Amino acid sequence: MTNENPNKKGTLGEIAVCKELLQLGYEVFVEVGNHSKVDLVVLDENYKTYKIQIKTIKSKNEVVEVYSIKNCLNPKYNSRYTIEQVDIFAVYVIDKDFVFYITSKELLINSKSSKFRLSESKNGQIINVRYTKDYLNFKKALRDYTPHAQTENAVGDEIVQTTTLKVLAAGESQCGR
């Protein structure tokens, strides 16, 4: 891409992600403006919502580096994302024209950025190497995403498994005969 304007580049990424998610059958809601840390809100078939942040990146030497910082034209306003703000990062690789998805929990483990390979490394390294091809499935990213289900009242409480008692109708036996 010859035009390096960050706003135009980001818009192309938003369009690519919206198109893919709409084709997959999700409802997509777009942020108006550029002030929040969420670009899209996605609604699944069960009306569950997910906060999506889109990163549009150009690969370099078969590597995509995804930064966990919201970059602003004025660096004084740059800030780091948190797992409370973003559920899933959708990364549009602009020079290869594809999208991959990573949970915020996995991306934000690293302090500043995470790297993903487009192809095998030349030296054959496989340990601690992440490939973009393993992150192409949005549904898998949703499965890997674990929402913060514990309420403030339950913090520190012991987790207990519960069961539901089956109520038998008059004359019904537990033996199932």
pLDDT recorded at residue 68: 84
Residue 121 has which token pair? 């490394």
Distance separating alpha carbons of residues 132 and 63, to the nearest angstrom: 9
CATH of domain 6-146: 3.40.1350.10
Q: Is the dihedral of CA 21, 87, 11, 91 positive or negative?
A: negative
Distance separating alpha carbons of residues 59 and 44, to the nearest angstrom: 30
List the pLDDT tens digit at each of the 177 positions of the chain.
Answer: 455 777 788 899 999 999 999 999 999 999 987 778 899 999 999 999 999 999 999 999 999 999 887 766 666 767 788 889 999 999 999 999 999 999 999 998 877 889 999 998 777 777 888 999 999 999 999 988 866 544 555 555 555 555 555 555 665 555 544
pLDDT recorded at residue 63: 94
Residue 73 has which token pair? 């034209």
Tokens 């559920």 — which residue? 87
